[in-house]
């Protein structure tokens, strides 16, 4: 299938839904969408200040202005999360005020074990598609997959200006190129400190520390007050790049007044402070020095550029060459190097095809697979399925990551397999080889103390994380009634002095399977699960349409149910049951093919379950001659 057809298929998924909904700009010719934004840069030397203004200004009419102003005093700000609540990943939040909407992040997540065959999971864009005329822009807080991974699928169905930092947009460009839409995207680079006007919203980008450079929190000035959304953050006093979180700006916003805070909840259950990334470098240095003649393999997140930098630095210090493994790792290393976020000494990276030319003690392999992903490079090494790397007892393997909630079993499985192969495996609980990019409890309290929000909404986490973050808010003096724990799709209506959950919009999960987007639903997943658990039986026979007699006995094929050669008696009896059922039906005058298929399916299902207590999928095929 061509990329053009894929784009048409994605668009078609929403076109059908949009037909049934009311779109003010479509149903009322006099109500048109706003003109495109104009972007201007100021001459401020400290930070380029982006000012986005409407191309068509409303007429100067005092009565209209007063009316509009009075309306906005009473109208609520709607905060609509379409992802990132009661889950890790798939982050997407809408801010809506009357005729203006901005989108913060557009992420993806990985499928759970029930979603057989599914590649990734993205948010449901139905509400966005139905309100396309209101969308003023997409703001990206940073370049992790759970914040940008769904963006290509949204940009395939509508053109929206995108705003993000240099590295974030660099990673986005790579994704858009894969999807064949890089040329049509409207990408606007910003820097921390920049401010942009999008409709009624004025968005300020604030530098934060995270496990990827160029991460930002947001201060969103709205008609009801300033809303702060932290994005993913931590407070690291000794970051690798030396650029500490902008505490002063968050504190200044708190003094001026913050009506609501939306804060990262990922590590809300962890007491204390998160480990500094520099501490990880010290641990890696000690491990490298004591590795002796062993080959070193380090698995980490591909987007953790500071971690990759420290690994490359230690390899350089100890005279080792570096091999990069995993498609996403190669992509990120190339992009980060081109944009100047990675300092790679000349000649230190070698191609994997040259690996055989080097001794174990002269090599470091940086690979994906720290979460035990089934198709990752480390997983294939662990299960002896990698074509070019064989794990031996002379390997020292460092898993420089913490399992994302839900991935614990797969990570342990990989560690067990690597250990069986004789490798020495080092992970976080043994040494300080990983530092989370998310704030722990004391850092979350500091953010609450700095911003002093009137209302508080924990985001980005499972329910246990959201609840614990809410408890931290209460401990910091925020009234319980001013704390909102919501779910995706709920509309939070915020005014200067009150907050309510009033309605619900379409939301959920879109499953991406190959080139298909949204065409795999509960029925398909149920069938896949049934096939995986019980297998399938195909029964085929031919009927003469003149005499309505069976031309030959049915043929029965088993796939994933039983091994036929070891269960010949069962299959012979099943064939006899099928013959009796069809013959009885024909004798009674049943000639409808669909009715005969139902008879065949019911009789075989009953017999198979009675003999095996299993429910394989039964597929009857009746041919007519």
Which amino acids are annotated catalytic? 264, 438
User: Contact 447/251 with Cβ under 8 angstroms?
Assistant: no
How many residues in total does the chain contain?
Answer: 625
User: Which among 537, 552, 543, 535 is positioned nearest to 604, based on CA atoms?
Assistant: 537
Q: What's the rounded Cα separation, in Å, for the pair 577 and 606?
A: 10
Phi and psi torsions of 109, nearest 5°: -140, 170
| Cβ contact 528:117 at 8 Å | yes
Alpha-carbon gap, residue 525 to 531, rounded angstroms? 10
Taking CA atoms, 233 is separated from 207, 259, 276, 332, in Å, by: 9, 20, 12, 20
Task: Return the SS3 of 223.
Answer: coil
Per DSSP, the chain holds a count of helices (H) and strands (E) of: 18, 27
| Maximum Cα interatomic distance, the chain, rounded to a whole number of Å | 92
3-class SS at 617? strand
Contact in structure between 82 and 127 (CB atoms under 8 Å): yes
3-state secondary structure of 455: strand
Give pairs for 382-390: CB < 8 Å, separation 24+.
Answer: 382/414, 382/417, 382/418, 382/421, 383/417, 384/421, 388/352, 388/353, 388/355, 389/325, 389/352, 389/355, 389/365
> In 241-375, which residue ranges form alpha helices assigned H by DSSP?
247-256, 277-289, 305-317, 327-338
Decide: 490 and 81 in contact? Cβ < 8 Å.
Answer: yes
Rounded Cα–Cα distance for residues 557 and 536 (Å): 8
The contacts of residue 232 (CB under 8 Å, 6+ apart) are 141, 142, 144, 147, 208, 210, 211, 215, 264, 266, 437, 438, 460
Parallel, antiparallel, or unpaired for β 225-229 and 216-222?
Answer: antiparallel
Q: Which residues have C-beta within 8 Å of that of residue 144, sequence separation ≥ 6?
A: 107, 211, 212, 232, 303
User: What phi and psi values does residue 177 have, to the nearest 5 degrees?
Assistant: -65, -40
């Amino acid at each position: 299938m061509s990329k053009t057809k894929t784009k048409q298929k994605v668009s078609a998924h929403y076109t059908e839904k949009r037909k049934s909904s009311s779109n003010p700009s479509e149903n009322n010719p006099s109500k048109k969408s706003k003109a495109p934004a104009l972007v201007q840069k100021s001459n401020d030397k400290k930070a380029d200040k982006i000012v986005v203004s409407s191309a068509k200004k409303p007429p100067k009419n005092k009565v209209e202005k007063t009316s509009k102003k009075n309306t906005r005093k009473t109208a609520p700000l709607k905060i609509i999360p379409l992802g990132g609540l009661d889950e890790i990943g798939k982050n997407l939040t809408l801010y809506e005020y009357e005729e203006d909407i901005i989108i913060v992040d557009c992420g993806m997540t990985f499928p759970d074990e029930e979603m057989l065959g599914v590649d990734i999971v993205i948010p449901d864009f139905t509400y966005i598609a139905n309100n396309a005329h209101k969308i003023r822009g997409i703001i990206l807080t940073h370049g992790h997959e759970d914040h940008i991974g769904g963006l290509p699928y949204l940009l395939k169905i509508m053109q929206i200006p995108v705003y993000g930092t240099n590295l974030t947009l660099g990673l986005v460009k790579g994704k858009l190129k894969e999807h064949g839409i890089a040329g049509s995207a409207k990408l606007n680079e910003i820097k921390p400190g920049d401010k942009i006007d999008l409709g009624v919203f004025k968005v300020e980008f604030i530098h934060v520390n995270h496990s990827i450079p160029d991460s930002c929190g947001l201060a969103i000035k709205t008609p009801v007050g300033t809303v702060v959304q932290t994005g993913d953050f931590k407070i690291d006093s000794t970051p690798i790049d030396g650029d500490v979180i902008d505490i002063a700006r968050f504190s200044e916003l708190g003094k001026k007044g913050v009506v609501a805070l939306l804060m990262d909840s990922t590590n809300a259950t962890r007491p204390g402070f998160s480990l500094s990334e520099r501490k990880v470098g010290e641990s890696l240095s000690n491990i490298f020095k004591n590795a002796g003649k062993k080959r070193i393999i380090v698995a980490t997140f591909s987007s953790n550029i500071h971690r990759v930098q420290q690994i490359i630095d230690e390899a350089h210090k100890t005279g080792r060459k570096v091999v990069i493994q995993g498609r996403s790792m190669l992509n990120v290393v190339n992009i980060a190097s081109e944009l100047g976020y990675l300092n790679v000494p000349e000649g230190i990276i070698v191609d994997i095809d040259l690996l055989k030319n080097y001794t174990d003690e002269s090599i470091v392999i940086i690979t994906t697979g720290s979460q035990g992903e089934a198709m990752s490079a480390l997983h294939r090494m662990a299960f002896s399925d990698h074509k070019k790397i064989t794990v031996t007892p002379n390997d020292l393997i460092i898993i420089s990551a913490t399992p994302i909630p839900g991935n614990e079993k797969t990570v342990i499985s990989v560690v067990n397999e690597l250990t069986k192969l004789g490798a020495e495996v080092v992970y976080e609980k043994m040494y300080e080889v990983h530092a989370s990019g998310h704030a722990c409890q004391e850092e979350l309290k500091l953010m609450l103390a700095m911003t002093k929000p009137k209302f508080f909404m924990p985001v980005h986490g499972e329910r246990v994380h959201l609840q614990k973050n809410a408890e931290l808010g209460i401990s910091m003096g925020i009234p319980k009634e001013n704390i909102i724990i919501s779910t995706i799709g709920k509309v939070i209506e915020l005014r200067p002095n009150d907050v309510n959950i009033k309605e619900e919009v379409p939301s959920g999960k879109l499953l991406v399977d190959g080139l298909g987007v949204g065409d795999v639903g509960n029925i398909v997943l149920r069938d896949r699960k049934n096939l995986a658990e019980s297998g399938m039986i195909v029964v085929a026979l031919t009927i003469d349409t003149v005499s309505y007699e069976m031309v030959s006995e049915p043929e029965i094929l088993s796939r994933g149910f039983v091994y036929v050669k070891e269960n010949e008696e069962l299959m012979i009896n099943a064939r006899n049951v099928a013959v009796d059922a069809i013959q009885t039906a024909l004798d009674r005058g049943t000639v409808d093919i669909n009715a005969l298929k139902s008879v065949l399916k019911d009789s075989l299902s009953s017999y198979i379950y009675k003999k095996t207590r299993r429910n394989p999928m039964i597929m009857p095929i009746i041919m007519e001659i």
